[in-house]
Structures are given as C-alpha cells and as structure tokens.
Amino acid sequence: MTSSNMINQGAEARVFEGEFCSRSVIVKERFSKKYRHPTLDEKLTKKRMTQEARAIMRCKKAGIATPAIYFVNYETNQIYMENIKDSLTVKEYIQALQREGGKDEELNKLADKIGNILATMHNIDVIHGDLTTSNIMIKRPFKELDLVLIDFGLSHVSRLLEDKGVDLYVLERALLSTHPNTEVLFERMLQNYSKKSKQSKEVLAKLEEVRMRGRKRLMVG
C-alpha cells in the first residue's frame, strides 16, 4: 500500500485511507487490547475480522450495499476494502439536516430506506451487532439515498428473534442518544422495516420486550 492517512481511531481498530493496486482503499487495522490475555486477544481479533468479511459478503449477495473486500491480512490484522468516496456517515448527514431545519421529508425518506435495508439484512439472518448512525454511510448525491452499511466486526448470522430485536434496540438507543427528537423518525423506520420484514410482528414484539428489560434495568439501577 502506498501513502496512507489515518481517518479514524476507534476502540478496537484504526482506519486508514490509501491506495492498493491503484484503487482507493480503506484499511481497517485491529490492534491488540493490552488488558486482554494475548492468546484470547489474538483469537478475538481474528474472529472479528472473519465475521466482518463474512457478513459483508453475505449482505452483498442479498443486494445490500457494503464496501467490497479486496484483501484480508491475518498477519497484520488488516482488512482492505473499497473506499466509499463522496460520502458522509448518516450521523453527519442527520446532523446537517437538523442544523438546516425544515428537512422532514429528507429525514423521513432516510428512515424509510434504513428500515427497508435492515429488514432485508434480517431476512437473510445477518445481525449487524453495532447499528449506529456512524456505521451507515450515504453517498452523494444524497437524494438518491444510496446507503452503505459498514463496520460488521460484531456481526453474526442468527435466526433468533431475540438477536434481531436487540439489533434494532441498539440502533434505537444510538439514534436517540446521538440525535435529539428522533423518536418519530425511529417509529417511521420501524414501520418500513415491517413492510419488508418476513417476521415483522415477531421481531417488533421482541423489540418491545427488550425495551422493557432495558427500562427495568434502569429502575433497579
């Protein structure tokens, strides 16, 4: 790889931008966590990388946009993937729309699209594991709602309603804590999820159950 710039330093990985085989790439490099036992750490890192590559490919097959994977290096714990150029994270996009104000139509369409994609993903039993507005990207021009799912390091394949319910709950918490006044937006997203999901009733019932558990936990403290 030639010349690279760090674009993100997370808790488990660094993300660089660079060039590989004359393509613009993103390199996600997982680093060891000092507090973990070295052998366990090594195992977890490899597992996350495998999960990430596997879920991305499974999503692609179902027509869900994800970055193309170019290369997985288990020696250096790096995944080389397609750089989603000319894009923002959905977090940045929502913040921009909210700053401008009067952008309800754009926000609604975004929620519809996210609901649709997540139902498609759950229909093929992919659980993302870390749904936040930073882990969804939107390409320019924004009105085309070309969304790309990223960051599948905590994902797994599961048919369990519980896992799907928790996946949505994680997004609900992330959305409401990152963006003010998005309750209605999340409800709208769920409505569109329901249109597309093969098990919407069951998953939404699970979501309600998970919410109740969350509340109980808060009350107990």
Ligand X SMILES: Nc1ncnc2c1ncn2[C@@H]1O[C@H](COP(=O)(O)OP(=O)(O)O)[C@@H](O)[C@H]1O
Give catalytic residue positions. 130
Name the minimum Å distance from CB 13 to Mg ion.
Answer: 8
Tallying the residues shown for the chain, one arrives at 221
- For position 129 contacting ligand X by CB under 6 A, the verdict is no
Q: Is 89 in the site for ligand X (CB under 6 A)?
A: yes
Verify binding: residue 133, Mg ion, rule CB under 5 A.
Answer: no
Closest to Mg ion by CB, 151 vs 163, is 151
The answer to whether the peptide bond before residue 141 is cis (omega within 30 degrees of 0) is yes
78, 135, 182, 197: which one contacts Mg ion (CB under 5 A)? Answer: 135
Full strand arrangement of the beta sheet holding 78-82: 2-9, 13-20, 23-30, 78-82, 69-73
Q: What's the count of helices (H) and strands (E) in the chain, helices before strands?
A: 6, 10
The residue range among 5-13, 96-104, 118-126, 209-217 that interacts with ligand X, by the rule CB under 6 A, is: 5-13
Work out the angle between the directed axes of helices 90-100 and 104-123 (0-180°, nearest 10).
160
Q: Shortest approach of ligand X to residue 140 CB, angstroms?
A: 13
Piece of 36-44, 149-157, 182-190, 191-199 that binds ligand X (CB under 6 A): 149-157
**1-12 burial by CB neighbour count: b if 16+ within 10 A, else e?**
eeeeeeeeeeee
Binding residues among 25-54 for Mg ion as defined by CB under 5 A: none
CA distance 77 to 50: 10
Helices of type H across the chain? 38-61, 90-100, 104-123, 161-178, 183-196, 200-220
Among 6, 7, 40, 184, binds ligand X (CB under 6 A): 7
From the CB of 130, what's the least distance to ligand X, in Å?
A: 7
Note whether 15 binds ligand X by CB under 6 A: yes
Binding site for ligand X (CB under 6 A): 7-8, 10, 12-13, 15, 26, 28, 67, 81-84, 89, 134-135, 150-151, 153
Binding site for Mg ion (CB under 5 A): 135, 151
